[in-house]
Structure 1
Amino acid sequence: MNSYYIYILECSDGLLYTGFTNNISRRFDEHQNGLNKSCFTYKRRPLELLF
């Protein structure tokens, strides 16, 4: 059984983003580096991992 994590990011404009993943380090890097231009966080970087 795989473990999954729920995470909360604070965007540069103060908005919060929640997501889930099985690899929190990889997923945070994807958000922070803007690897997906259609993602909610793409234009709201830099991000801070809150939880």
Structure 2
Amino acid sequence: MNYTYMVQCADGSLYTGWTNCLSKRLKAHNESKSGAKYTKTKRPVKLVYYEGYETKEEAMGREYAIKQLTRKEKLQLIEF
């Protein structure tokens, strides 16, 4: 399973990404050097939203679509 996810950083900002293992990716964002450059200085991050997909391409496509949304639209997505 592949996932598109959104985390909220310690400063309140949102980061969107994709992965094939949510728990490993969250751990990487919070603890290791393999987390995203953006989240390294904004720790800790917490998972606020995710969607599952069969293929990597679907997850990556949805990641791109979410990144095109405004902050307000992203917050609305999280609320559902």
TM-score, scaled to structure 2? 0.56
Count residues with an aligned counterpart.
49
**Highest relative contact order (Cα 8 Å, sep 6+), 1 or 2?**
1
Aligned partners of 1:38 and 1:25: how far apart in 2?
15
Unaligned 5+ runs, structure 2: 50-80
Counterpart for residue 59 of structure 2: none
- Specify the structure having the higher radius of gyration (Cα): 2
Q: Secondary structure at the match of 1:27?
A: helix
* Deviating 4+ runs (over 3 angstroms): none
Q: Answer 1 or 2: which has greater helix percent.
A: 2
TM-score, scaled to structure 1? 0.84
Unaligned 5+ runs, structure 1: none
Counterpart for residue 44 of structure 1: 42
